[in-house]
Amino acid sequence: MTKKWILVVGARPNFMKVAPLIRAIDKHNSSRDSSLVTIHYLLVHTGQHYDATMSDAFFRDLKLPEPDLHLGVGSGNHGEQTGKVLIEFEKVLLKEKPDLVIVVGDVNSTLACALAAVKLHIRVAHVEAGLRSFDRNMPEEINRLLTDAISDYLFTPSPEGDENLAKEGIPPDKIFLVGDIMVDSLLFHLDQAKSTNILSRLGLKPQSSDFRSSSSPLHALGSTLQAPCSTLPYALMTLHRPANVDDKQALEKIVRGLLEVSAHFPILFPVHPRTAKQIKAFGMEGSFEFHSSPDIKSEEYFENGALKKKIHCFAPLGYLDFLNLMSHAKVVLTDSGGIQEETTVLSIPCITLRDTTERPITLTEGTNVLVHNDPEKIVAEVKKVLSGQTRVSQCPSLWDGHTAERIVAILANQG
Ligand code: UD1
């Protein structure tokens, strides 16, 4: 028997969640067990993210197949973007008539595709279900709540996801605790990531000393990944939440903290297009060193052979380069969701520039701490890292690199 599934990607944080699913489906299909259904899948890209650095680079790094269909919706206000995906994806569903649609994460494309499918009585699986920040000003929180409310299979990364869904009245037989799919990609690519040349492009020299704690949760997983990673004296930062970058006062507060942090070590900042636009619009370019690429060669950026203690900005990085920089960073500053999870697995101190998180397990079991946009808290947390007061994380249960296989096994067994 053959089943037809559609997998949806739209924006940057979707790609590393769908790549492991595709590998798991291919593995399932290559099994010799003739009692198993064969899964025919189509990959649909909505085009929410379209820049080469936000999309193509991830297809290349994650070895994703070319999308079978590209909806080309592009940017727009929330209603416009969500509406365009809804209209275009419905046409795909009417033509392809899949048995199942799989959506991941919490971006506008996630909600729009789930909604288009459920209205046509096509079953929907939501991977990364149950996460809640309880902040309805976040567009992602609305996307999460609504996608979960209409999905048939809800795959959660950690137990609090199950609890949130139960409180919202989702029947337990729809909820499956399977672990974190981002970790599948992280563990699959980590060794390869460490061999990219991004450190030397940035003028950073890998050192053989100053190893991160040998009790990183990776040890518990067994594998070649046990090799401890040397840390280098820099902070890695990402920043793109509308609450942080669209509000001038919030951004000014964060930058005040960052300038103080950059007196201690350089901050490496691959800048999201939304943030680049806002820094320009607010006339704040003077606080940053903008580089046309991460190939920093000019002597003016170095002092005694080391990268100057400044905020160094460049275009967004691909998955492998970013992972390489993250794994060597002394500390990560971020307002991203997934990076809070990745730093927990890698046991890297993570300072989150938000006042809530939909991933509280990274606070209780991981290295994560919330500082909102408060400059004093940002600096205080960085000083803790500099004085060696770092937490060692535990790897949450089922964050073991096999989440996608569990999901595919469950879905393939449904009638
Ligand atoms: C989206 C997701 C967010 C996720 C983030 C990761 C929603 C509601 N938000 O936010 O959850 O963390 O992706 O990046 O879905 N732009 C480009 N090139 C691109 C994409 C965007 O220049 O390839 C610019 C456009 O000016 C666009 C702006 O960035 O208007 C924002 O893009 P959009 O997809 O609306 O939201 P993100 O902020 O990227």
Nearest atom within ligand 1 for CA of residue 139:
8
Any idea which of 54-63, 106-115, 240-249, 299-308 has the lowest mean pLDDT? 299-308
Q: Is the CB of 187 under 6 A from ligand 1?
A: no
The average pLDDT across 189-195 equals 95
Mean pLDDT of the chain: 94
| Å from CA of 49 to ligand 1 middle | 6
What's the pLDDT at 222? 46
pLDDT average, residue stretch 294-315: 90
What's the confidence (pLDDT) of residue 24?
98
Quick one: three-class SS letters along the chain?
Answer: CEEEEEEEECCHHHHHHHHHHHHHHHHHHCCCCCCCCEEEEEEEECCCCCCHHHHHHHHHHCCCCCCCEECCCCCCCHHHHHHHHHHHHHHHHHHHCCCEEEEECCCHHHHHHHHHHHHCCCEEEEECCCCCCCCCCCHHHHHHHHHHHHCCEEEECCHHHHHHHHHCCCCHHHEEECCCHHHHHHHHHHHHHCCCCHHHHCCCCCCCCCECCCCCCHHHHCCHHHCCCECEEEEEECCCCHHHHCCHHHHHHHHHHHHHHCCCCCEEEECCHHHHHHHHHCCCHHHCEECCCCCCCCHHHEECCEECCCEEEECCCCHHHHHHHHHHEEEEEECCCHHHHHHHHHCCCEEECCCCCCCCHHHHCCCEEECCCCHHHHHHHHHHHHCCCCCCCCCCCCCCCCHHHHHHHHHHCCC
Atom of ligand 1 nearest to the CA of 107: 15
Catalytic residue selected from 189, 240, 272, 402: 240
Share of the chain above pLDDT 70, in %: 94
Strand, coil or helix: 62: coil
- 12 ligand 1 Cβ < 6 A: yes
Is residue 155 within 8 Å of residue 405, measured between CB atoms?
no
Ligand 1 centroid from CA 414, angstroms: 34
Asked whether residue 302 carries a pLDDT value surpassing 60, the answer given is: yes
Per-residue pLDDT at 205: 78
If you measure from the C-alpha of residue 244 to the centroid of ligand 1, how many angstroms do you get, rounded to a whole number?
14
Flag the least confident range among 90-104, 241-255, 285-299.
285-299
Q: What is the pLDDT of residues 380-389, one digit of tens each?
A: 999 999 999 9
The CB of 11 under 6 Å from ligand 1? The reply is yes
Q: Comparing C-alpha atoms, which of 61, 74, 51 is closest to residue 16?
A: 61
* Mean pLDDT of the region 27-42: 92
pLDDT at 228 over 90: no
Check pLDDT > 70 for residue 14.
Answer: yes
Rounded distance between C-alpha atoms, residue 120 and residue 299, angstroms: 60
The torsion region of residue 203 among left (phi > 0), alpha (psi -120 to 50) and beta comes to left
Is the C-beta atom of 214 inside 6 A of ligand 1?
A: no
Q: 46: CA distance to ligand 1 center in Å?
A: 13
Query: Which pLDDT tens digit goes with each residue over 262-294?
Result: 999 999 999 999 999 999 999 999 999 999 999
Q: In this predicted structure, what is the pLDDT of residue 33?
A: 85
Q: Which residues 6+ apart lie within 8 Å of 332 measured at CB?
A: 235, 236, 237, 326, 339, 343, 348, 349, 350, 351
pLDDT at 214 over 70: no
| Residue 70 predicted with pLDDT over 50 | yes
**Predicted pLDDT of residue 391:** 83
Protein residue with least CA distance to atom 26, ligand 1:
274
Dist. CA 238 → ligand 1 center (Å): 13
Cβ atoms < 10 Å from Cβ of 300: 8
* Residue ID of nearest Cα to ligand 1 atom 17: 273
Quote the pLDDT of residue 390. 86
* 247-258 per-position pLDDT tens digit: 999 999 999 999
Q: Identify the pLDDT of residue 221.
A: 59
What's the pLDDT score for residue 226?
39
Measure the CA–CA gap between 192 and 279, rounded to whole angstroms.
Answer: 33
Within 8 A by CB and 6+ apart from 317, the residues are: 53, 57, 198, 270, 294, 325
Query: Does the CB atom of residue 13 touch ligand 1 within 6 A?
Result: yes
Neighbours of 326 (CB within 10 A): 24
Residue nearest to atom 37 of ligand 1 (CA): 274
Q: What is the atom index within ligand 1 of the atom nearest the CA of 110?
A: 15
How much distance in Å is there from the Cα of 108 to the middle of ligand 1?
Answer: 9
pTM for the model stands at: 0.95
Q: Please tell me if the CB atom of residue 17 comes closer than 6 angstroms to any atom of ligand 1.
A: no
Pick from 8, 16, 48 the residue to mutate for probing ligand 1's pocket: most ligand atoms within 8 Å of its CB: 48
| The predicted structure's pLDDT at residue 207 | 66
pLDDT higher than threshold 80 for residue 372 = yes
Residue among 119, 110, 120 nearest 143 (CA): 110
Going from the Cα of 350 to the center of ligand 1, the distance in angstroms, rounded, reads 22
Most ligand 1 atoms within 8 A of CB, residue of 107, 339, 340 to mutate = 107
| Whether residue 49 has its Cβ less than 6 Å from ligand 1 | yes
How would residue 36 be classed by pLDDT, with cut points 50, 70 and 90?
Answer: confident
Q: Hey, is 89 helix, strand or coil?
A: helix
Pairing of strands 123-127, 153-156: parallel
Mean pLDDT of 324-330: 96
pLDDT digits (tens, 9 = 90+) for 117-163: 999 999 999 999 999 999 999 999 999 999 999 999 999 999 999 99
For residues 64-81, give the mean pLDDT: 98
Active site residue 240: yes
